Amino acid sequence: MNAALNGQLETLKFELQRQRDFDKVVASKYQVDLIVAQEPNTVLSGQLESLKVESQRHRDSKNDAKADLRRSLKDLRRIEDDLRAKLSLQDLGIPLEVHEKATGRLKELGRMIVDLTRQATILAVRYGDGKLASHHLFIHFVWMLNTFACRPNLKLHSYNP
């Protein structure tokens, strides 16, 4: 009877060892599969992080452009207010045609300011929608606004995108 039990014990040990070997092979296969699956996840995580950084950079750039536009519009309003103040302080002894010419120039400047504001708004929207190739065109436009503010005798041609 002992011999029969010893034989069954040996068979069970053999089966147990075979099952352990099989489990090791399966575990090894799953470990390889897991490693292979994690590699694309790492790449995708890196790409996601890169997209987040790019998105934040775009938002910052858009906010900077809006702030530049607001500053330029404030400058233009200040110039308009200065011109109105200068006209209101004019000596009444100045001939009427001089006042009319100055008033006409002020109206022309007002129209130019409205036109520049419209163009700046169009550019800001296009920049915000990503339709401009880069922010350089927008910055160039803001530079033109500042140039116009400093030298109002310049003639500007309308930009119609």
Q: How many residues does the chain have?
A: 161
Q: Per-residue pLDDT tens for 123-160? A: 777 766 666 555 566 666 666 666 665 555 555 554 44
Q: What is the pLDDT of residues 2-44, one digit of tens each?
A: 777 788 888 888 888 898 988 888 888 888 777 777 777 777 7
Return the half-sphere exposure (C-beta side, CA atoms, 13 A cut-off) of residue 26: 6
- How far apart are the C-alpha atoms of 62 and 68, rounded to whole Å? 10
CA distance 72 to 144: 10
Question: Rounded to an integer, what distance in angstroms lies between the CA atom of residue 12 and that of residue 132?
Answer: 76
User: Where are the strands (E) in 4-160, listed by range?
Assistant: none
Amino acid at 94: I
**pLDDT band at 54, cuts 50/70/90?**
confident
25-34, 51-60, 78-87, 132-141: segment of lowest average pLDDT: 132-141
